[in-house]
């Protein structure tokens, strides 16, 4: 029997749901939505051992390869399977967004809002050691968590991470043409990043006085906080790594795939909304319902989507997603983006034919509903960049 929330949803939030044509019942059940894990490729034979350790059967997610569901109250953080990187937690809807990218080994992929890193890890797995992944996030401490995940799951070899504003990030992948890199190159890069870290620490001491200037500097020069040996960093000079491409260069040498899982109000996540019962519903007004914050978010979302598409090469694929269920943060953003970008074409997501999701208000877009899909809420749109 499902447990239901003991605290009624506030009238303001019910009005918010009505305005967005959302059913309040999706927030009623606290324990009906399962949690999901992804099994690291190569550990399929260990499923029974993992089940014995966590004392729970891993149920295969029939529509998403490599994913398993388990009851939401099962804890995996203390298990050896989790500690040694055989499994990691990622919602099935998030896995679907990555699947929609159609990542192939050899692709250069940009994850423009990468933290905390579960989707990034899945992308690296799909590349199977070929190509590269560039992860970007404006939050240094959140991106540090992403770095920890890459190290824990031994997935960092082809990955580089930049603290940067995703709406202004402008670095393209640096092709790795040789597997042999000199120790001198590694040492030079370590010396450079160490020097940069020292400068950043010095700046932090006077951050309150020059926060605006520091933000401008960060937009101009992203901070590299992690790089793998085959990520397109080792053996290249700083000027090569930080070279700003021309618009024409981007069409040929941009990223093959771009994921923009944009910052949003998170209203599609049941677990997130339920936290306000303990945080206090007044904070919900400020974080989710405040019109000014929502307006600012939609502007940011459009900027992230536009810049991600700019960094995409001709013929490349971009996936835009949010864990909001509101029209303003999803269909409205997509509609405006399509008006502004003649070379963008919405694509059918072929893999979605068996997914438990609904069509969005714009054809070819998708919505995962926490109630019907048994996942976190998610909106997904897929774009192709046409040749200009």
Distance CA 206, CA 189 (A): 27
Are the beta carbons of 305 and 333 closer than 8 angstroms?
yes
Distance CA 112, CA 108 (A): 13
Provide the 3-class DSSP secondary structure of residue 117.
Answer: coil
Question: Which tokens is 111 given?
Answer: 């994850």
What's the full length of the chain, in residues?
A: 388
Among 30, 31, 76, 26, smallest CA distance to 50 is for: 76
Are the beta carbons of 278 and 62 closer than 8 angstroms?
no
Start-end of H helices in the chain: 11-19, 47-54, 80-83, 92-100, 118-127, 140-152, 183-205, 207-220, 238-241, 247-253, 270-274, 276-279, 281-284, 291-310, 331-340
| Residue 290 marked ligand-binding | no
Distance CA 48, CA 136 (A): 36
Measured CA to CA in angstroms, residue 79 lies from 51, 56, 57, 60, 83 at distances of 10, 12, 14, 19, 6
| Residue 261 marked ligand-binding | yes
Read off the DSSP letter of residue 4: B
Look up 113 and say whether it is catalytic: no
Rg of the chain taking only CA atoms, in angstroms: 21
Question: Which tokens is 148 given?
Answer: 């920890």
- Active-site residues, by number, are 323
Residues at the annotated binding site?
137, 261
Residues at the annotated binding site for S-adenosyl-L-methionine?
137, 261
């Amino acid at each position: 029997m499902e447990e239901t929330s003991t605290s009624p949803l506030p009238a303001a939030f019910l009005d918010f749901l009505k305005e967005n044509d959302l059913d309040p019942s999706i927030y009623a059940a606290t324990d009906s939505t399962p949690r999901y894990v992804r099994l690291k490729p190569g550990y399929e034979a260990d499923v029974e051992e993992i089940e014995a350790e966590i004392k729970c059967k891993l149920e295969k997610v029939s529509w998403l390869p490599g994913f398993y569901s388990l009851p939401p109250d099962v804890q995996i953080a203390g298990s050896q399977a989790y500690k040694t990187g055989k499994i990691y937690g990622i919602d099935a809807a998030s896995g679907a967004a990555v699947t929609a990218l159609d990542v192939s080994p050899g692709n250069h992929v940009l994850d423009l809002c990468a933290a905390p890193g579960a989707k990034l890890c899945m992308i690296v797995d799909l590349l199977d050691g070929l190509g590269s992944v560039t992860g970007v996030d404006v939050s240094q401490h959140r991106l540090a968590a992403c770095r920890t995940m890459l190290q824990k799951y031994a997935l960092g070899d082809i990955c580089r991470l930049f603290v940067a504003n995703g709406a202004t990030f402008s670095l393209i992948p640096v092709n790795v043409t040789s597997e042999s890199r000199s120790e001198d190159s590694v040492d030079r890069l370590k010396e450079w990043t160490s020097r940069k870290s020292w400068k950043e620490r010095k700046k932090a001491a006077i951050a309150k006085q020059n926060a605006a200037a520091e933000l401008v500097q960060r937009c101009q020069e992203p901070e590299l906080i992690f790089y793998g040996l085959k990520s397109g960093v080792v053996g290249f000079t700083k000027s090569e790594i930080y070279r700003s491409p021309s618009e024409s260069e981007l069409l040929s040498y941009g990223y093959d795939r771009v994921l923009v899982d944009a910052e949003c109000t998170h209203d599609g996540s049941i677990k997130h909304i339920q936290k306000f019962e303990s945080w206090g519903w007044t904070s919900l007004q400020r974080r989710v319902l405040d019109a000014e914050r929502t307006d600012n978010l939609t502007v940011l979302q459009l900027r992230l989507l536009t810049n991600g598409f700019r960094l995409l090469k001709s013929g490349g694929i971009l996936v835009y997603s949010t864990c909001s269920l509101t029209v303003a943060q999803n269909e409205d953003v997509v509609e405006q983006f399509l008006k502004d970008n003649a070379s963008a074409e919405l694509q059918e997501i072929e893999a979605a034919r068996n997914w438990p999701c609904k069509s969005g208000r714009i054809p070819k877009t998708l919505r995962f509903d926490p109630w019907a899909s048994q996942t976190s809420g998610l909106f997904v749109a897929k774009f192709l960049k046409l040749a200009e």
